[in-house]
Amino acid sequence: MNIVLFGPPGAGKGTQASVLSEWYGLLHISTGDMLREAVKKGTMVGRQAKAYMDKGELVPDNIVINIVTERISQKDAKCGFLLDGFPRNKRQADQFDQALCKKGKKIDMVLYFKTSPEVSIRRLSGRRVCTNCGANFHIETMPAKLKGTCDYCHSLLIHRKDDQRGTVQNRLVVYKKETNYLIGYYKDKGILREVSGDLKVKELFEKIKRLFAKEGLRGVA
């Protein structure tokens, strides 16, 4: 099963993707994580993407389409994947559909996390991320045991530059302008399902499990 987790920044897609990928044995592919890794390593892609990411703008389509199509061609994507943060506009959606079609694959479901802007802003502005393992915390709802330090690998936690208020607002504007359109696009294809991204992590996970069960998807964990 190939699933797209769709919704605005701060909808909780990444958090759900981590648990869902384990529960259902699906590969979690996050374009945001892949791009941040490329920036960290200073690769050509990272150097091209950084300025866009810092401003909360979309990285050029050809860059993201390439990294995603390359990633889904790898062996570990064979049993299905959960895409998080892609596609983000019509061009990405169209080109991705074509690339999948060439491989005899398709998107089976798009799970839309309908989320209010207040919740998105509160989540992102309170989010702290581990500089080493990438684990996420939240200063109010999921604080680290020791302030500023990762519970898992004891590395430094940071407030991502693009999670700061001004950039968060721009990311939401970009979402509305470019990405929101895809709700209708996938609805017309009959593969859009909706959950509330405003729910708490565990509650939402249970909701998604029930929805997936109705779609015939069983856990492997």
Footprint (CB under 6 A) of ligand AMP, residues 165-184: 171
Tell me how many degrees the CA angle 183-188-190 measures, rounded to the nearest 5: 95
193 is catalytic: no
Which of 12, 217 has the CB closer to ligand AMP? 12
Rounded to whole angstroms, the Cα distance separating 139 from 122 reads 10
How many beta carbons lie within 10 A of that of residue 147, not counting itself?
Answer: 10
Q: Which of 36, 123, 128, 171 is catalytic?
A: 171
Residue 98 exposure: Cα atoms within 13 Å on the Cβ side: 8
Asked whether position 64 contacts ligand AMP by CB under 6 A, the answer is yes
* 128: contact with ligand AMP by CB under 6 A: no
Looking at 8, 32, 109, 129, which residue binds ligand AMP (CB under 6 A)?
Answer: 32
CB of 179 to ligand AMP, least distance (A): 9
210 classed as catalytic: no
Residue 13: active-site member: yes
Catalytic residue of the set 36, 88, 123, 128? 88
Considering only 6, 8, 12, 88, the residue that binds ligand AMP (CB under 6 A) is: 88
Long-range pairs for 68-75: beta carbons < 8 A, 24 or more residues apart: 68/29, 68/31, 68/96, 69/96, 69/99, 71/29, 71/34, 72/29, 72/100, 72/103, 72/105, 73/103
**Minimum distance from CB of 214 to ligand AMP (Å)?**
27
Residue 113's CB is within 10 A of a number of other CB atoms, namely 22
The Cα–Cα gap between 114 and 203 comes to: 15
Q: Which of 26, 115, 162, 195 is the binder for ligand AMP (CB under 6 A)?
A: 162
Q: Binding residues for ligand AMP, how many (CB under 6 A)? A: 18
Candidate list 18, 37, 46, 52; residue touching ligand AMP; CB under 6 A: 52
DSSP per-residue letters across 102-115: HTT----EEEEEE-
The one catalytic residue among 36, 123, 127, 128: 127
Out of 56, 82, 111, 137, the only residue in the binding site for ligand AMP (CB under 6 A) is 56
To the nearest whole angstrom, how small is the minimum distance from the Cβ of residue 124 to ligand AMP?
9
Using CB atoms, what's the residue nearest to ligand AMP? 32
Q: Is 47 a catalytic residue?
A: no
171-200: string of b/e by CB count within 10 Å (b at 16+)?
Answer: bbebbeebbeebbebbeeeebbbebbbbbe
Strand pairing category for 127-130 and 157-158: antiparallel
Contact footprint for ligand AMP (CB under 6 A): 9, 31-32, 35, 52-53, 56-59, 64, 85-88, 92, 162, 171
The residues annotated with a catalytic role in the active site are 13, 88, 127, 160, 171
